[in-house]
Structures are given as C-alpha cells and as structure tokens.
Amino acid sequence: MEKIVSLCKRRGFIFQSSEIYGGINGFWDYGPLGAELRKNIRDCWWNDMVRRRDDIVGLESSIIMHPKVWEASGHVAGFNDPMVDCKVSKQRFRADQLFFARVEIIPEASAETTHSDPSTQTIGYVVALESDRTDEELREKAIELKRKKSIRGQLAPIVALDFTQAKPEEITLIPSPATGEPGSLTAPRAFNMMLQTHVGALRDESAIAYLRPETAQGMFADFKAIVDTGRVKVPFGIAQIGKSFRNEITPRNFIFRSREFEQMEMEYFISDQDDWMKWHRYWIDWCRDWLISVGIPAAQISEYNHPKEKLSHYSKGTTDLMFQYPFGTQELWGIAARGNYDLSQHSRFSGTSMEYFDEASKRKYIPHVIEPAVGVDRILLAILCGAYTEDEAPDEKGKMESRVVLRFAPRIAPIKAAIFPLLKNKPELVAKAKAVRDLLRPHLTVFYDEAGAIGRRYRRQDEIGTPFCLTIDFETLGEKGDDLKDTVTLRDRDSMKQERVKVSELLPFLLSKVC
C-alpha cells in the first residue's frame, strides 16, 4: 500500500487535500493523471450503464436537497446514535446495542458474597450484541473466560450493561465483538454522519440543510418526475454519478474511506410482483463483469451476503462485491434489494403518491427497487492495486533492471499512447512526431515526450500505465528505404514487444484497443 500511495503522489495521481496547510483528514485531490483516470471510470460506467441500454436513464440531482428528504430516508434519525468503532475490524456498532458485563469471581472463602461486594475479583469483560439471547451469551462467555483462566471460585451474577454505561477506564478492557480482543473499541460518540450547512441568510434551525450522504435519494425524490416524462416503463432504472459526503468518524486506508467521495448509483425499479431475486442476481453479475471489464482482476473479487438478521427491516437482501485490498478484503460495491421502502417513505413524508400505473394490467402499485451502489474512489483504488506490478525490463544496453508497471486496462488508462521523437535535436523527427500527435489527439488522450533516453521515456510511461508508446525514428522519415517510410515503432507496455505500424493505420488500431 505504501508503494502505491507514494507512486500516486510522485506521478500526480492523488494528493492530500490542502497539503500546504498540513492537509485535512478524509479529503483528497486528484492530480492530472488521477483526474483522467477518474473521468475514464465515470465515462465507462455511464456509457455501459446508461447510454448503451434502453432501460436506464440518467439523472443529475442537486447535492443539497430539501431537509425532509433525509427525514424520509431515515438519515436524520438513523445517524444520530452513539457509535462505537472497532479500530481493528473497522466495524461500527451502536453503543446502545452493544452489551458488556464484568466477569467477577466470588472468592471461595466468602461464598455468600454478591456481585457488588468489594471482595469479588474482576477477571475480565465479556461482550455481546443485542439479541434475544444477549444475557445467555454473556453468561456463556463468562464461564468460558473463567475456564480459560483456570480461576477457582464462584461466578458472581452477570449484569449486562450497554456500552454507553462503560466507565472511561473500562473501555480499553472490553473486548470487541468483532475480534474478541480488548483494546480496539473507541468511546461512544453521538454522531450524525451527515455534514450540515445553512441555506439562506438566517443561521437558525430552520435554515439547516445537509450535504447528501448518498446520491440515491435524488432518484427516489425525482421518480415521479421521470415517470411522468413518459420515456420509461417498469422495469427501468435511474442512474446518477455525483459527490456524496459523510462525516466518517475514522477516515482511513487512503481514498478507501473519505469524507467527500463520489458515488455511482443506480436504482432499478421492478414490479412488486416480479421476482426480485432474479433481478438482484442479474445486477450482482452485471457489476462483477463490469469490474472485470475495467481491469480489476477477477481473482481478487468475492461476494459477501449480509446475514438476514443484520439487514435493515425493509431490506430483502444485500450482497457486497468485495475486493482484496492490501489492507484486507473490503466492500467495493453493494447491491441491495430495498423493497418499496424508499418510495413509500417519500409518499408518506411528501404527500405525493409514488404509485406507478401499469398500462397493461391497469394496476397501480409502488415499484420495488434493486440498488447497485459503488464509490468511484474505491474502484479507482482497486484498479490501482490490481494494476501495480514490479517486473524486469532491459535498459539501453540490454541489462535487466527492475521496473514498476501499472497494468491498466487500455480503456481506463489515463494516457492511451505516448509519442516520442527518437532524438529531440533533429527537427525532422520532432516535426513528424508532432504531426502524429496532432493526428491522434482529437480522438485519444496522448502525451508527447522528447526528454531523455528512449528507455527512460518508456519506463516513465510504464509507471503511469500508458499501454502504447510510439517512436518516430529515421525509418519513419524514409531514410532507410521506402518500405518503412511513414511507419512508427509501436511498443506494447505489457509484453514490451515492438512492431512497425503505418501511421495511416495507427488511429483505427489504437481505437480498437482502447474503446
């Protein structure tokens, strides 16, 4: 991970935001190459998700919406709980749903002593999440702890307390429910993850608005407006790409979890009588195939099905596509079957019916929805991690030296082709190279470079993932015969093979590789 972070900084992919002022935690800037890479990710997704399909339309809704939207969606109430983070597993728990108990032993000599007696000995803590077995679970864990520690004496009665009742000195002693080990839980903090602002001249309660924590609510709030334009029929989808903001308690792992990030979300509306499982599977497979199409190695993608008991009450099923990042296997893309919860909530809160009228059956109903939701930044990080390779390449004299290569899929690479005149002090070579650049530039992102030895120029392009390098040499000028006149050396980044290609064939060749 360190190598990737330093490459990103060195070559202008990603910088810390406001670095000259010491940075601001959870915010990142994308430099010249990062901006290109992001744009390519967005464009590929938009083309595949919206433009190349008949059943999905696009939307760009505002970042700040009516505050009632977030009441209806559950974000105002839902994000207000005291939260506890496990620093090791990165899991977050509602403090009032996390129970712990002191495990106390009554010394053998005083068998009559009770829990609060000062002569009891505390041997550790146990923890359990809220369920209908919380007390039993705590007791079983206490017995197990006593057995492990081979402590004699009688167990004092177990008293379950929720985490908001933990004393400051106890917090580091209570094990995390995720790891079973103490020391990783944070103190509970009342927390609403939505970033607030004020709209208008007043600064009072009535002016509070939120920066959206997800783009999805734009699709639900505009559902009726889009249906009324008459272009869509269930099943259909609304897709959006845009910035979202969450005041994450602990932003971490480079751009994986930040406070300002960009989402690509799509709400796919289906009939309430349709087979939601079929559509859920369809979208999981679509998302997986798409990740592979932008160069993410299939072997590093896995599926995680959220257990039924952890789903929100309205959710029918959620599957995450996970990626094996260097810091662990983590959620990349969530595909959730959300029933008709969101549209029903907006009907209730706004008083506007979100029912859909089905012409064929003459029936009105609130559609159900399947939501694939992904972050551009998490995809970008997965692409970088999947592409980073170190191998060996010959230098000018044929001696092998190590090289760093970003094996980006050509369709996603920030620069598609680099163009080099063999020598920069030969005006004919420079003029011809610039002519090739001008030929390609209207169609592809290309980069002209005349500085340094050719091997070094290749190496620089390998490191930023440029799939093709074109060298204009004396053969191109026809100095070695007419056969090779107007041909260039095309070098492939991955195989390092070189071949001669006619200038007139360059554009169709490159376009066939990068689209």
113 vs 263 by CB, closer to ligand ATP: 263
- How near is the Cβ of 265 to ligand ATP at its closest, in Å? 7
- How near is the Cβ of 325 to ligand ATP at its closest, in Å? 12
Q: How far is CA 373 from CA 232, 266, 274, 318, in A?
A: 21, 7, 21, 11
- How near is the Cβ of 246 to ligand ATP at its closest, in Å? 5
Q: Which residues are CB-contacts of 5 (< 8 A; sequence separation ≥ 6)?
A: 14, 254
Please state the φ and ψ torsions of residue 401, each to the nearest 5 degrees.
-135, 160
Taking CB positions, which residue lies at the least distance from ligand ATP? 375
> What count of other Cβ atoms lies within 10 Å of the Cβ of residue 122?
12
- Would you state the structure tokens that stand for residue 361, as one six-digit string? 């059956």
The stretches of 210-307 forming alpha helices (DSSP H) are 216-221, 223-228, 276-293
- How near is the Cβ of 253 to ligand ATP at its closest, in Å? 9
331 vs 355 by CB, closer to ligand ATP: 331
263 vs 347 by CB, closer to ligand ATP: 263
36 vs 214 by CB, closer to ligand ATP: 214
- How near is the Cβ of 333 to ligand ATP at its closest, in Å? 6
**Chain Cα centroid distance, residue 39:** 15
- How near is the Cβ of 207 to ligand ATP at its closest, in Å? 26
CA torsion 455-456-461-467 (nearest 10°) is 10
177 vs 375 by CB, closer to ligand ATP: 375
146 vs 246 by CB, closer to ligand ATP: 246
Q: Is 495 exposed, middle or buried (0-12, 13-18, 19+ CB in 10 A)?
A: exposed
- How near is the Cβ of 90 to ligand ATP at its closest, in Å? 8
Cis before 235 (ω within 30)? yes
331 vs 486 by CB, closer to ligand ATP: 331
- How near is the Cβ of 336 to ligand ATP at its closest, in Å? 7
Q: Which residues are CB-contacts of 275 (< 8 A; sequence separation ≥ 6)?
A: none
102 vs 246 by CB, closer to ligand ATP: 246
CA distance 101 to 122: 10
The stretches of 164-258 forming alpha helices (DSSP H) are 216-221, 223-228
Q: Which residues pair with 337 in a beta bridge?
A: 317, 370
Q: Which residues pair with 210 in a beta bridge?
A: 196
Q: Which residues bind ligand ATP (CB under 6 A)?
A: 214, 246, 248, 257-258, 261, 263, 331-334, 373-375, 377-378
